[in-house]
Structure 1
Amino acid sequence: MNKVDIRNKGSDERSTTSSLLRLGTRLKLSRQTRGLTLKALAAAANCSESLLSKVENGKVSPSLPMLHRLVEVLGTNIGWMFEESDGEEGIVFRAGTRPLIALDPLRRGEGISLERVIPYSPGHLLQCNIHHIEASGESAGPIQHAGEEVGYVLEGAIELMVGEKTFRLSAGDSFVFDSELPHWYRNVGDERASIFWVNTPATF
């Protein structure tokens, strides 16, 4: 059991590193294509130049709010930043092969990682991930964008904040809301929580 756990952990780390490098490369390409300096983009997206440099070099992951600001300034979308090749004929994505990336910097505990259910690639109308939230982890936010969110809690206990309302959810609960409402969430249990989350891609 321990050997399997170690192997899976190593695979997850390699997947995360690969995703961060892909994000950094495409972010830098998009910035250079638009003739923006690192300093100019950082100022427009309200983030530090040093942090943006680390993101472009695949050394750190941006928070989701920061990523939304960057793609808005660059006139692109999050889907393109993480665009991946499809699985078997673009239909089947095997367990253990789906990309895993930590988008939000660690806030508390072990933070949050997103497991791709639908790869970011052309032709998909939806984005779908399994959000894994470690004990005491929470999403950076609140964020808001055009579209709609739908989720189903697979395990654990979370608090979901939408607009001015707060909801406590546990395994088996589901939700839906307008993405234009400010939203974020946190794990309020003692163990990892997972949410099957589907949303309309945010484009600008």
Structure 2
Amino acid sequence: MEPVIRSTRSDDAAKFVGVSLRLRLARTMRGMTLKALASAVGCSESMLSKIETGKTSPSLPMLHRLAEALGTNIGWMFEENHGEDGIVFRSGDRPIIALDPLRRGEGISLERVIPYAPGHLLQCNIHHIAAGGESAGPIQHAGEEVGYVLQGRVDLILDGRVFSLGPGDSFVFASNLPHAYRNAGDGPASIFWVNTPPTF
């Protein structure tokens, strides 16, 4: 199945304006200088300045490092629709997160099954991966993850090992293990992915 929603370029730009503003807000509320935060996440001060002013967008691993250094959650950085009373999220109305294709991992969008909200113990997305797409990474963080391949062929790279997966295959692992994934087939692939605690 093809992704239900496709973000337009203007939608993505608008989301990252919000991300840059929230990053700057979180940093200033913690009394951190650009230099201190850049040092904490392992990037240059000029790169962080470009992220905060919306001139460039961060990779997924960089977003994880920023959220950890700022004591926040990546989901807080993105505006999201909270559905009907925060309970039901209709097909076609769920938010799509598409990061910068040069640094986020080519050809990947995340469809929120559970939009981020304070108090959720779980985070759930459908990772849509275009042919030839792969995640940026590997990444590591606290928690546990489980996934179920909905369509296509996927390679899960976990702590240096490669697991080839197809429709109906599932996986589980501790999130502190370095992990990444890629589309190993000729067509689109989708993974139903759940992790706890919410980190994105």
Structure 1 length-normalised TM: 0.85
Q: Distance in 1 between matches of 2:195 and 2:5?
A: 27
What secondary structure is seen at the aligned counterpart in 2 of 1:27? Answer: helix
Q: Following TM superposition, by how much is the alpha carbon of 1:11 offset from its aligned partner in structure 2, in angstroms?
A: 5.1
Matched, 1:18 2:45: no
Residues paired across the two proteins, number: 196
1:1-204 equivalent positions in 2, closer than 5 A = 12-82=8-78, 84-103=80-99, 105-106=101-102, 110-201=106-197
Greater CA drift, 101-110 or 80-89 = 101-110
Aligned-residue sequence identity (percent) comes to 69
Which residues of structure 1 form unaligned runs of 5+? Answer: 1-7
Q: Following TM superposition, by how much is the alpha carbon of 1:29 offset from its aligned partner in structure 2, in angstroms?
A: 0.3
Structure 2 length-normalised TM: 0.86
Question: Which one-letter code corresponds to 1:162 in the other structure?
Answer: L
With over 3 angstroms needed to count, the CA separation of the structure-2 counterparts of 1:97 and 1:147, relative to structure 1, is same
Which residues of structure 2 form unaligned runs of 5+? Answer: none
RMSD over aligned Cα atoms: 2.4
Question: Which one-letter code corresponds to 1:76 in the other structure?
Answer: T
Q: Distance in 2 between matches of 1:73 and 1:156?
A: 35
Q: Distance in 2 between matches of 1:195 and 1:29?
A: 33
**2:153 and 2:166 in contact (8 A); partners too:** yes
